[in-house]
Amino acid sequence: MATKRWFTLLRNAAIGLAAAATAASFATPAVADQPPSTNVVGGTRAAQGEFPFMVRLSMGCGGALYTSQIVLTAAHCVSRTGANSSITATVGVVDLQSTSAKKVKSTYVYRSPTYGTATGGDWALIKLASPVTGLATLPIATTSSLNTGSFSIAGWGAASEGGAQQRYLLKAQVPFVPDSTCKAQGGSYGRLIPNAELCAGNVSAGGVDTCQGDSGGPMFRRDDAGAWIQVGITSWGDGCARPHAPGVYTEVSTFASAIADAAKKI
């Protein structure tokens, strides 16, 4: 099965094997010498400063600034909880080759203890060696009230299924897909974990989606006050932007308390 984030159902694999496979599949991406097309899985180029909370991680995943010193990403992007100084976070730019980029090493990783279980929980926290200054953080949803409508996605992942990862940050809009509709697409979608996973995309036509290398990045929308709120974490799916294969995202509100508690301890 071709997969969007390389692995469609890591939660069903042995954790040790998943960790090894993740490390291999999310190797640091090569960046293009020339600007990519503005069309990437139905998206367009993000403007500098448009999403200041976006983070590129050196293992080839995305993330968002949960606090000035903690990045929220996907559990399948990291191998375990513990001290870790091997990850570099690039922040503050849409162009990964920009000389203005801020690069900060990790010091610790917290991996959701429920990831790979029937409970779900594809989320992880990466603590940075020092706080990032001058950049907005991305608050997370604490209730399911925002888990509907149209969502924004962004990342430096592949421009097409199986393609190269990108130098420039790209963005797109994806519509909410109800759990029942998502499960009805069959295959792996039949094993969707309600309340732990959130689907989004154009079910009938496809054409808009996250892709390889976008794992761990945020899915977000405006709240009633117009502020950005993270509602999902790019997790898995079948291919990229295929019809009847929406993207599946960790439902952040379900794990908001666990994320907050873990952040206080690292």
Query: Cβ distance 131 to 104 under 8 Å?
Result: no
- Choosing from 79, 112, 122, 214, the catalytic residue is 122
Q: Is 261 a catalytic residue?
A: no
- Choosing from 76, 106, 209, 238, the catalytic residue is 76
- Choosing from 215, 235, 238, 253, the catalytic residue is 215
Give one DSSP letter per residue of the chain, joined into a string: ---TTS-S-GGGS-HHHHHHHHHHHTPPPP--SSPPPS-STT-EEPPTTSSTTEEEETTTEEEEESSSSEEEE-GGGS--SEE----EEEES-SBTT-TT-EEEEEEEEEE-TTTTSTT----EEEEESSPPPS-----B-SSGGGSSSEEEEEES--SSTT----SB-EEEEEEEE-HHHHHTT-GGGGG--TTTEEEES-TTT------TT-TT-EEEEE-TTS-EEEEEEEEE-SSSS-TT--EEEEEGGGGHHHHHHHHHH-
Q: Is 238 a catalytic residue?
A: no
Q: Is 244 a catalytic residue?
A: no
Name beta bridge partners: 44. Answer: 171
Catalytic machinery residues: 76, 122, 215
